A = this chain, B = another copy of it.
């Protein structure tokens, strides 16, 4: 039994290719829910009204796409630290990928029910589980001697804590207003996307 377990899941590149595939499908499926009501419309004005009604959904999908982008960068930043893989690392990435596949669902619940606290809570829980998956990977990589302790590992850990703290803070705004919480999450994302290009970066 132990023998087989040391045989499987050892190829880090394989795990990354699977992860890229799952992210690519999840990213593309996000937009699959975007649909106009069936049937002809009379003119461009009527079509504009229909597109306008999709506005909140488009915003929710754009937000979720940036989330998937952020976590895609994050999982590779984590795996970059590992010299090799083992079965436990494979399962920690698979668990993480499970919550990647649930994000289109959480995003569609959020898009349909942006005014409900529970929808924000569900979405945040999905982000938190993705963070937990990354934490498990980081913890295992250190513990199993798959990565060298060093500055890079410290930076990756710190970023994970920072990101999850900001997501949690933004989600807490839902106690005041669910829409404010969504705006908060969007702001955090914007910050992560823009920050590498800020003038004070070293």
Contact = CB atoms under 8 A, between A and B. Distances in A.
Contacts of A44: 116-119
Contact of A202 (B2, B41, B152): B2
Contact of A112 (B5, B36, B88): B36
Which secondary structure dominates where chain A touches chain B? helix
Interface residues of A, number: 83
Contact of A8 (B16, B74, B162): B74
Nearest to A87: B196
Nearest to A36: B109
B113 A41 contact: yes
A94 interface: yes
A13 to B, nearest CB: 10
Contacts of A100: 28
A93 B196 CA distance: 15
A155 B7 contact: yes
Interface of A: 1-9, 11, 14, 16-18, 20-32, 34-36, 40-41, 43-44, 47-48, 51, 62, 65-66, 69, 72-74, 76-77, 80, 86-88, 90-91, 94, 97-98, 100-102, 104-105, 108-109, 112-113, 116-119, 122, 151-152, 155-156, 158-159, 162, 193, 195-197, 200-202
What 5 pairs between A and B have smallest CB-CB spacing? A21-B24, A44-B118, A25-B28, A2-B201, A5-B196
